[in-house]
Structure 1
Amino acid sequence: MPGSGQVLKNKQKRRVIVIVVVATAVVFGVLLIPYCIWKRKSLRDNMENNVMLDQNIEFQSEDIEVPSFSLATIVTATNNFSSDSKLGEGGFGLVYKGTLIDGHEIAVKRLSRSSIQGLNEFKNEVILIAKLQHRNLVRLLGYCIEGEEIILIYEYMPNGSLDSFIFDKTRAKVFDWSMRFNIICGIARGLLYLHEDSRLRIIHRDLKASNVLLDSKMNPKISDFGMARIFGGDQTEGNTNRVVGTYGYMAPEYAIDGLFSVKSDVYSFGILLLEILSGKKNRRSFHPSQGLNLVAYAWNLWKDDKPLELIDTCLEDNCILLEFVRCLRISFLCLQQHHEDRPNMSSVVMMLHGESSLPEPKEPTSLVGKKLSSSRKSQSPSTNEITVTLLEAR
Structure 2
Amino acid sequence: MYWLLVIGPLLYVQSMRSLILPASATASTSNLIIPLSEELKGLDLQTSSFSLRQIKAATNNFDVANKIGEGGFGPVYKGTLADGTVIAVKQLSAKSKQGNREFVNEIGMISALQHPHLVKLFGCCIEGNQLLLIYEYMENNSLARALFGPLECQLKLDWPTRRKICIGIARGLAYLHEESRLKIVHRDIKATNVLLDKHLNPKISDFGLAKLDEEDNTHISTRVAGTYGYMAPEYAMRGYLTDKADVYSFGIVILEIVSGRSNTNCRPKEESFYLLDWVHVLKEEGNLLGLVDPRLGSNYNKEEVMTMINVAFLCTDVNAATRPAMSSVVSMLEGKASVQEFETDSSRFGDRSSSRAMMKKLYQHLEENRAPESQTHSLSTAGPWTSSSSAADLYPITITSEYLQNRDSAN
TM, length-normalised to structure 1:
0.80
Match of 2:107 in 1: 126
User: Which of 82, 100, 104 is the matching residue for 2:85?
Assistant: 104
User: Offset of 1:261 from its aligned partner?
Assistant: 0.7
Residue 49 (structure 2) aligns with: 68
Per the alignment, residue 145 of structure 2 pairs with 164
Displacement of 1:386: 4.1
8 Å contact from structure 2 (residues 185, 212) kept in 1 = yes
Q: 1:387 aligns with which of 376, 381, 386?
A: 376
**Quick one: percent identity of the two aligned structures?**
46
C-alpha spacing 1:58/1:286, structure 2 compared with 1 (3 Å): closer
In structure 2, the residue matched to 1:240 is 221
Q: Which moved more, 1:69-78 or 1:199-208?
A: 69-78
Map residues 239-318 of structure 1 onto 2, 5 A cutoff. Answer: 239-286=220-267, 289-318=270-299
- CA–CA distance in 2 between the matches of 1:327 and 1:265? 17
Distance of 1:121 and 1:255 partners within structure 2: 20
Cα 1:291–1:358 shift into 2, 3 Å: closer
Q: Matches of residues 192-271 of structure 1 in structure 2 within 5 Å?
A: 192-232=174-214, 238-271=219-252
Per-residue CA deviations over 1:171-230 (Å, capped at 9, x if unaligned) read 556200010000000000000000000010000000110100011111000000000001
Residue of structure 1 equivalent to 2:361: 371
- Aligned equivalent of 2:390: none
- 1:181 counterpart (163, 166, 173): 163
Does the 8 Å CA contact 1:133/1:139 hold for their aligned counterparts?
A: yes
CA distance in 2: counterparts of 1:360 and 1:182, whole angstroms = 22
| Moved beyond 6 Å, runs of 4+ | 376-380
How far off its partner does 1:68 sit? Answer: 1.1
Deviation, structure 1 residue 368? 9.6
Preserved CA contact (<8 Å) 2:119 2:205: yes
Query: What do residues 113-140 of structure 1 show as CA deviations (whole Å, max 9, x unaligned)?
Result: 2222111101111111111000000000
* Contact kept? 1:77, 1:100, Cα under 8 Å: yes
Q: For 1:161 and 1:255, how far apart are their aligned partners in 2?
A: 25
The higher-RCO structure (CA 8 Å, 6+ apart) is 2
- After superposition, give the CA deviation of every residue in 1:47-104 in whole Å (9 maximum; x if it has no partner): xxxx78x531441453324211111111121111111010101121111001112221
Residue 272 of structure 1 deviates from its aligned partner by: 0.4
Q: Distance in 1 between matches of 2:160 and 2:231?
A: 28
Instruction: Give the aligned residue type for 2:206.
Output: D
Distance 2:285 2:164 in 1: 28
Give unmatched runs, 5+ long, in structure 1.
1-50
Q: In 2, distance between residues paired with 1:163 and 1:237?
A: 33
- Aligned pair 1:154/2:135, yes or no? yes
Please state how far the C-alpha of 1:389 moved relative to its aligned partner. 1.4
Q: CA deviation at 1:378?
A: 12
The one-letter code of the counterpart of 1:139 is K
Contact 1:252 1:367 in 2 (8 A): no
Q: Give distance in 1, aligned partners of 2:208 and 2:283.
A: 36
Contact 1:205–1:228 (8 Å) recurs in 2? yes
Change (3 A) 1:188 1:236: farther
How many residue pairs end up in the alignment? Answer: 340
User: Which residue in 1 is equivalent to 2:5?
Assistant: none
Which residue, out of 113, 116, 126, partners 2:94? 113
C-alpha displacement of 1:281? 1.1
Q: Structure 2-normalised TM-score?
A: 0.77
2:329 maps to: 348
- 363-372 or 296-305, larger mean C-alpha shift: 363-372
Q: CA deviation at 1:381?
A: 5.7
Contact kept in structure 2, 1:329 and 1:361, CA below 8 Å: yes
Q: CA deviation at 1:288?
A: 5.7
Give the partner amino acid of 1:126: I
CA distance, structure 2, for counterparts of residue 366 and residue 69 of structure 1? 47
Query: Could you report, residue by residue, the CA deviation over 1:150-190 in whole angstroms, capped at 9, with x for unpaired residues?
Result: 11000011111111111145655620001000000000000
The aligned residue for residue 93 of structure 1 is 74
When structure 1 is superposed on structure 2, of 303-312 and 352-361 the one drifting more is 352-361
Matched-pair contact (CA < 8 Å) for 1:247–1:386 = no
Letter in 2 for 1:78: T
**Residue 143 of structure 1: how far off its partner (Å):** 0.4
Structure 1 residues 172 and 302: alpha-carbon distance in aligned structure 2, compared to 1, 3 A threshold: farther
